[in-house]
A and B are shown apart, each in its own frame.
Chain A
């Protein structure tokens, strides 16, 4: 679900397929914009169905942009962040 542009090495973090869930909410960003990330490092937590689901950084790099804020509802494939 995460897309990497080979030319710029930028990577989009999108909400993965969690199954037939609805009402997925961002509960916490674990990194701030501008912070450096290691591949696989915890990036944010979403919650649905009484479940906290941790989304990690798909690649190493800088967290360029947070696209959705804590408390916002998100859907499958929504853009959450950009890493470059």
Chain B
């Protein structure tokens, strides 16, 4: 008998990747909510959205507008919108040059372990960065992925009926002047982009495909690519 640590395709869990390209933050939240309801009912399989947003600050359950450290008119001038959201965590930034991943995952199929879920998201990013010879790690007590003392990926999740929404944001080549307008995660931390650390900066599509492959390996997914157009009710911000 051959013993293999790899799961066969039959043993893997079906998952669909929906590459949304560029999409508004609010519309993507509504899409997540619809998919979450369908996943809770078992009408769809695990579904992973990848997306790049317009400049937005999002404030999680533990966050506050006090973590925006510039006047309101500066935000308007920069075209940055602010959204209060139901994920965990504090304030973070989304915008062009950042790959955002929203897994709609039923954790009842993945061991009902919130810590392991977060750890797998982090590990997916760590493995991806390793492909670019970037050594990244966790910081105990501070979920996310770090390169030395600089944060390269943020995590914020919402779970109801053991099904997840929201997810992770990986900086590829973000506008740092936008990050400088907030205290990310309520901390005075420096952020970093993949572009700052890698010899070459691959396309967003290439990075998304590689990250999906890493996450697929960790979550034992058999991933197919879906058509986002079949899921949008509207794409307006």
Contact = CB atoms under 8 A, between A and B. Distances in A.
Contacts of A45: 61, 86
A50 B122 CA distance: 12
Interface in A68-84: none
Contacts of A53: 114, 159-160
B62 A27 contact: yes
Contact of B118 (A17, A42, A47, A51): A51
Among all A-B residue pairs, the 3 with the closest Cβ atoms: A19-B113, A50-B89, A54-B160
Given A52-B157, A56-B161, A20 B115 contact: yes
B158 A51 contact: yes
Contacts of B111: 19
Contacts of B156: 50-51
B88 interface: yes
Interface residues of A, number: 18
A41 to B, nearest CB: 11
Given A48-B88, A52-B60, A52-B61, A19 B112 contact: yes
Interface of B: 60-62, 86-89, 111-118, 143-144, 155-161
A50 B143 contact: yes
5 contacts: A27-B61, A28-B61, A48-B114, A49-B114, A54-B161
Nearest to A18: B114
Nearest to B115: A19
Contact of B143 (A18, A42, A49): A49
A47 B88 contact: yes
Contact of B159 (A27, A28, A42, A52): A52
Most chain A CB inside 10 Å of its own CB: which residue of B88, B89, B118, B161: B88
B112 A52 contact: no
Interface in A26-78: 27-28, 42, 45, 47-54, 56
Contacts of A50: 60, 87-89, 118, 143-144, 155-157
Given A49-B143, A56-B161, 7 more contacts: A19-B116, A49-B157, A51-B87, A51-B88, A51-B156, A52-B61, A52-B158
Contacts of B159: 51-54
A52 B117 CA distance: 13
A67 B220 CA distance: 39
B159 to A, nearest CB: 5
Given A42-B160, A56-B161, A51 B62 contact: no
A48 B159 CA distance: 11
Contacts of B143: 49-50
Nearest to B87: A52
B199 to A, nearest CB: 31
